[in-house]
Amino acid sequence: MQEGTSKRVLVTGAAGFLGSHLCDKLLALGYSVTGLDNLFTGRMVNLQEAMTKPNFRFFKHDVVEPFDGQFDQIYHLACPASPPFYQADPISTSKTAFIGTLNMLELARDCQARFFLASTSEIYGDPLVHPQVESYRGNVNPIGPRACYDEGKRIGESLAFDFQRFHGTDICVARVFNTYGPRMNPADGRVVSNFVVQALKGEDITIYGGGEQTRSFCYYEDLLNGFILLMDHEGFSGPVNLGNPNEFTIRELADQVLEITGATSKLVMREMPVDDPKRRKPNIDLAKESLGWSPQVPLRDGLENTIEHFRKVLELDQ
Q: Is 185 in the site for ligand UDP (CB under 6 A)?
A: no
- CB-wise, 108 or 118, nearer to ligand NAD? 118
Q: Is 118 in the site for ligand NAD (CB under 6 A)?
A: yes
Q: Is 200 in the site for ligand UDP (CB under 6 A)?
A: no
Pairwise CA distance, residues 257 & 203, whole Å: 13
Q: Is 104 in the site for ligand NAD (CB under 6 A)?
A: no
Pairwise CA distance, residues 154 & 96, whole Å: 13
Exposure of 53 by Cβ count < 10 A (0-12 exposed, 13-18 middle, 19+ buried)?
middle
Pairwise CA distance, residues 314 & 198, whole Å: 11
Q: Give backbone dihedrals phi and psi of 18, rounded to 5 degrees, phi first.
A: -75, -40
Binding residue for ligand NAD, selected from 7, 27, 35, 41, defined by CB under 6 A: 41
Binding residue for ligand NAD, selected from 31, 40, 58, 98, defined by CB under 6 A: 40
Pairwise CA distance, residues 171 & 244, whole Å: 23
Q: Check if the beta carbon of residue 165 is closer than 8 Å to that of residue 218.
A: no
What's the N-to-C CA distance of the chain in angstroms?
47
- CB-wise, 96 or 178, nearer to ligand UDP? 178
Which 158-217 residues touch ligand NAD, going by CB under 6 A? 176, 178-179
136 Cβ partners below 8 Å, 6+ apart? Answer: 124, 127, 129
| Conformational region of residue 211, where left means phi above 0, alpha means psi within -120 to 50, and beta covers everything else | left
Catalytic residues: 149
Stretch that binds ligand NAD, among 8-16, 66-74, 131-139, 160-168 (CB under 6 A): 8-16
Binding residue for ligand NAD, selected from 10, 23, 79, 123, defined by CB under 6 A: 79
Please work out the total of residues on this chain that contact ligand NAD, with binding judged by CB under 6 A: 29
Q: Is 17 in the site for ligand NAD (CB under 6 A)?
A: yes
- Site for ligand NAD, rule CB under 6 A: 12-13, 15-19, 36-42, 62-64, 77-81, 96, 100, 118, 120, 176, 178-179
- Site for ligand UDP, rule CB under 6 A: 82-83, 178, 190-191, 194, 206-208, 213, 215, 250, 273, 276
